[in-house]
Structure 1
Amino acid sequence: MNNTLKAELDILIFNRVPKTGSIQFIELMRKLGRVHNFDVEVDPQNGGIRPILNENEEGDLVENIANADDGTVFVSHVNYLNFTKYDTPKPIYVNMVRDPVERVISWYYYIRSPWIFVPNRRKSNREMPNPQWVNTEFDQCVLTGDKACTYIEGSGLERVGDHRRQILFFCGHNERKCMPFNTKLPMQIAMQNVEREYAVVGTWEDTNVTLSVLESYIPSYFRGAKNMYYSGMQKDLKNYNPMKPLIAEDIKEMVRKNFTREIEFYQFCRQRLHKQYLAVKLNELMTFDKDLQKLHKTALKNLNAYRLNNTRKAEIDVIFFNRCAKVGSEALLELFNKLEDFNNLKMEREGLKRGTKRQFPKWEQRGLATNISEFDDGSVYIEHVNWIDFEEFDLPKPIYINLVRDPVERVISWYFYVRGAYKNAIEYRKVPDKPIMKAEWYKKDFNNCVRSGDPECQYIPYTVQDYTGNFKRQSIFFCGHSDDCLPFNSPAAIQMAKEHVERDYAVVGSWEDTNITLTVFEKYIPRFFNGAKVLFDIHNYQITNRNKNKRKPKIDPDVKEMIRKNFTHEYDFYYFCKQRLYKQYLAVSLKDLPASNELN
């Protein structure tokens, strides 16, 4: 599915569709260009939109682009350019799409914005627009049958400048074949061009998916795109129109009836994007997880979201988040803080104040389970505590959730967390007279700690007592309080943990796959996680930076490999949880895309 391999030129062409967030995409590429040493050249028409080109015009433009230096990004509002037709080597094609109805609404208010129409009309010496035209709302325009808001199937260019044809930018420059609005032939040609030529067609409606696919499929241009974007760009939206009102859904539905094939093409592009994303993620997991290799097409097609959703087994409407240490649980806590008012939840915060214990005796397990079972519906209880069997105490089961993380990255994170300013500031504010470790301990290098055989950095299989607390047992949070759960990297403990996840947990997610995790949370536990992705995007900096250690030094790859050899069964459990998360995501995602019923 990677058409980058077919490119014969190291030139990227972004024939951007209007009102799909192309300005934001250009800004991202410019920032990446300064890192990866490539240039972004925007068409000198100053953002103007090229109409259908004749053969000479198309051929000249193709030749100009082909003659650019390697490592050039050419950007223009122009229809698909067929390089093969002119016996010219092919570039790397990318583009963005957007919900077709949302696009035309966005354009409608864009051209009525004073910061757009005033300078544009001054530049072209045109008269300023009629105030009545500027002030007419979109719903009124649709209901009155105004030409600008009448979308007639098969119509030619309407000369109302609404850019209703998203398909046209992928179909090409054959006016007879590509211009008729919302018809079958242009859609088929556009789909064929996307499938055959485009490396990536993304959408800001699936930001994380789009950036992940761009990074994986066109790494020479987009390596580091996610980090770049989430380092502040997501809050600085370009070309954003704050004056665009909300349009009633019934008006949108009226318009959608005339955009059937435009919507079909849009869904085709999103389906393809999700296939690319899932292919990358499945390949990553299959590298380590032999069981996942058994998930062939037939198995994927038969995935059932109902069977994979343990939320239905819960007997009380209460979430029990028995959070693992160093998996990003503070970030999920911050997200819950945003969801609390949004979904009318009740955060039970007592567990956040309790210290962490490796095991609870039976009486303490019973007490905590009883306490949780008495919470009101819509409550969320969070504590660093191992899995508890509510059935053993004849108590109703809550909705279990948790997070996991790469096991070696977890122990590295803990090593620097206990030495970090954040944790020590908290602890010494609580207990100012607490004995302090020597300066050498705080400065101890992890690479040397492992290589020298320092007991603090030795992770010996089957050990029960540890030289120092290091939370190396991720599986214990899912195994429980039995003595059988204590031996480190034990197959028996791992098997018990797997059984509890499969039987009891609604979702075990991972911030390593943010979009997948949030999607599964929203779909499988909607009462608590409705709006999670939107709120995560809005409050991204606050959520992702909570308890984040930005002073953690880089660890040598060979040191990580040395440690991994002792975490074999912990990795088995980690990949089991990620495989299950992917199954849950596949089960809902493939059904969300109307044109997608299976992975080809």
Structure 2
Amino acid sequence: MNLRGLSRLFEVHALVVIERILLNRRLFVLFSLFSSLSLLIFIFYANKWFLNYHYTNYFMSAKQFSKTDNYSFINNNNAHGTDSYIKPYPVVVYNRIPKTGSTSLINLVYQLIEENCSHTHVIHLNISSNKHYLNRVNELYLIDNLTHWTSMHPLIIHGHFAYINFIKYGSLFNPIYINMIRNPLDRLVSYYYFLRYGDDYRPYLIRKRMFDIVTRNQTFDECVLVNGSDCSPQLLWVQVPFFCGQAAYCRIPGNPVAVETAKRRVIEDYLIVGLTEEFDKFVDLLEILLPSFFTGAHNLISRSKDKWHLRRTNYKLPISKATTKIYQDNPIWQAEQEFYNFVRTEFHTILNAIQGQFSHQPLSKFSALYKEKINFDKIRPKFGA
């Protein structure tokens, strides 16, 4: 092949190479355009899916609420727990007040643990010398233990102690508080005769007022007439300080500031505060609000109603109208009664809001009624409107 032929062959080869390069560039441009378009489509649908998920799937619709057994805004103690966005309450604190029916409630808890094969732990907190208050060091020690004692969760801790503020010590752990109170004068009269005659819960236990026959046989009315120490109006000051807390001003009988603090605690720090006089309704509300601890409570009480009023004083006389009037004129009684009336109003407000128009029916028969119909709508604002 001569030089001219080689030159021609080289030109043809070069044209082929250039054509391939141009073809590859066109393919590259097409590929780039396709990739960009695909990316835009992906971003569009991903954004649409995210908005859909965030505003629709994250919250259950009203229709879904009506089909589900667990209402996650109330029943966040769902034992299955897979669909709940609020974590179950790990610890419930019941700072129980003496002579308000607390023994009955704790025994109910133990029975429910057996019936439900629950892993709930129940611990009694007993402060030395039956004191109701802790100093700062012991308060901190208790909070530190409860915060890190996760192996004991779920846990119900109970005892006769005043409210403890966990957040004050910087603890991120904030337990659920519950409690139950009683008509203050009825509670004092019950405690008076309890010290003298005991109760049917531990009938053979010797109480401290049983040794002196004269003191033991003295009625509450007679005690009031002689200004006895066991019926002093100062002894009425129990329920307010249990809610007010560990501060010194909470212990001053009749202190109006303590009353206001106690009211605020009820509203802000307690899930529910029940009434001894309406024990069954209180238990029904606990089953609704804390199902992982109290599921089956209503049925259990219904099967053996008398069993759950365990601690009846063996002997007790009604007090006279004159005695009642003496207490009603006392500022300590007035403060305690004001707090009791406040709690009673709040309890009935919660109860009525759940029962609604079906207040004549037991709560247990209307499990669907306390599940409010809540809709979450996705509304896009119109700019410039």
User: Above 0.5 in TM-score?
Assistant: yes
Distance across 1 between alignment mates of 2:139 and 2:314: 36
Whether 1:377 and 2:142 are equivalent positions in the alignment is: no
Aligned letter for 2:195?
Answer: V
Distance across 2 between alignment mates of 1:314 and 1:556: 51
Change (3 A) 1:513 1:526: same
Residues 92 and 176, structure 2, Cα contact 8 Å, conserved in 1? yes
| Alignment counterpart, residue 535 of structure 1, candidates 275, 296, 300 | 300
In the alignment of these two chains, the number of paired residues is 277
Residues 509 and 581, structure 1, Cα contact 8 Å, conserved in 2? yes
Distance across 2 between alignment mates of 1:549 and 1:489: 27
TM-score (norm 1): 0.42
Residue 169 of structure 2 is matched in structure 1 by 393
Aligned-pair CA distance for 1:458: 2.8
Residues 122 and 155, structure 2, Cα contact 8 Å, conserved in 1? yes
| Alignment counterpart, residue 520 of structure 1, candidates 261, 285, 288 | 285
Q: Deviations over 1:384-414 (max 9, x none)?
A: 1000001112221111111000000011111
Distance across 2 between alignment mates of 1:572 and 1:411: 16
Query: What pairs up with 1:337-486 in 2 under 5 angstroms?
Result: 337-343=110-116, 344-351=118-125, 355-373=129-147, 374-375=149-150, 376-395=152-171, 396-422=173-199, 425-426=204-205, 437-459=211-233, 470=235, 472-486=237-251
Aligned letter for 1:577?
Answer: V
Structure 1 residue ranges without an equivalent (≥5): 1-304, 429-433, 461-469
Change (3 A) 1:547 1:313: farther
| Alignment counterpart, residue 99 of structure 2, candidates 326, 333, 343 | 326
- Describe the SS at the equivalent of 1:418: helix
- Describe the SS at the equivalent of 1:426: coil
Q: Deviations over 1:335-372 (max 9, x none)?
A: 11111123414233342686521321111112222333
Residues 179 and 272, structure 2, Cα contact 8 Å, conserved in 1? yes
Distance across 1 between alignment mates of 2:349 and 2:115: 28
Q: Deviations over 1:200-223 (max 9, x none)?
A: xxxxxxxxxxxxxxxxxxxxxxxx
Change (3 A) 1:482 1:537: same
- Describe the SS at the equivalent of 1:489: coil
Whether 1:581 and 2:337 are equivalent positions in the alignment is: no
- Describe the SS at the equivalent of 2:233: coil
Residue 54 of structure 2 is matched in structure 1 by none
Distance across 1 between alignment mates of 2:236 and 2:86: 30
Q: Deviations over 1:468-509 (max 9, x none)?
A: xx4632111111111110111211111111111111111111
Aligned letter for 1:328?
Answer: G
Query: What pairs up with 1:49-64 in 2 under 5 angstroms?
Result: none
Distance across 1 between alignment mates of 2:205 and 2:121: 22
TM-score (norm 2): 0.64
RMSD after superposition? 3.3
Distance across 2 between alignment mates of 1:359 and 1:366: 13
Residues 244 and 250, structure 2, Cα contact 8 Å, conserved in 1? yes
Residues 315 and 398, structure 1, Cα contact 8 Å, conserved in 2? no
Query: What pairs up with 1:104-503 in 2 under 5 angstroms?
Result: 316-343=89-116, 344-351=118-125, 355-373=129-147, 374-375=149-150, 376-395=152-171, 396-422=173-199, 425-426=204-205, 437-459=211-233, 470=235, 472-503=237-268
Residues 352 and 383, structure 1, Cα contact 8 Å, conserved in 2? yes
- Describe the SS at the equivalent of 2:196: coil
Distance across 1 between alignment mates of 2:187 and 2:293: 27
Aligned letter for 1:451?
Answer: L
Q: Deviations over 1:256-282 (max 9, x none)?
A: xxxxxxxxxxxxxxxxxxxxxxxxxxx
Distance across 1 between alignment mates of 2:272 and 2:336: 19
Change (3 A) 1:403 1:355: farther
Residues 475 and 570, structure 1, Cα contact 8 Å, conserved in 2? yes
Structure 2 residue ranges without an equivalent (≥5): 1-71, 77-84, 358-365, 373-385
Distance across 1 between alignment mates of 2:86 and 2:137: 25
Aligned-pair CA distance for 1:321: 0.6
Residues 450 and 458, structure 1, Cα contact 8 Å, conserved in 2? yes
Residue 220 of structure 1 is matched in structure 2 by none
- Describe the SS at the equivalent of 1:358: coil
Aligned-pair CA distance for 1:427: 5.6
Residue 27 of structure 2 is matched in structure 1 by none
Distance across 1 between alignment mates of 2:88 and 2:130: 27
Change (3 A) 1:476 1:318: same
Task: Select the structure that is richer in helix.
Answer: 2
- Describe the SS at the equivalent of 2:246: coil
Aligned-pair CA distance for 1:548: 1.1
Q: Deviations over 1:310-353 (max 9, x none)?
A: xx999851111110111110111111111112341423334268
Query: What pairs up with 1:552-567 in 2 under 5 angstroms?
Result: 552-566=316-330, 567=333
Change (3 A) 1:494 1:315: farther
Residue 568 of structure 1 is matched in structure 2 by 334
Aligned-pair CA distance for 1:585: 1.1
Distance across 2 between alignment mates of 1:435 and 1:507: 35
Q: Deviations over 1:560-592 (max 9, x none)?
A: 232133211111111111111111112211284
- Describe the SS at the equivalent of 1:448: helix
Distance across 1 between alignment mates of 2:87 and 2:181: 21
Residue 311 of structure 2 is matched in structure 1 by 547
Distance across 2 between alignment mates of 1:336 and 1:458: 34
Q: Deviations over 1:127-178 (max 9, x none)?
A: xxxxxxxxxxxxxxxxxxxxxxxxxxxxxxxxxxxxxxxxxxxxxxxxxxxx
Runs of 4+ in 1 over 6 A off after TM superposition: 312-315
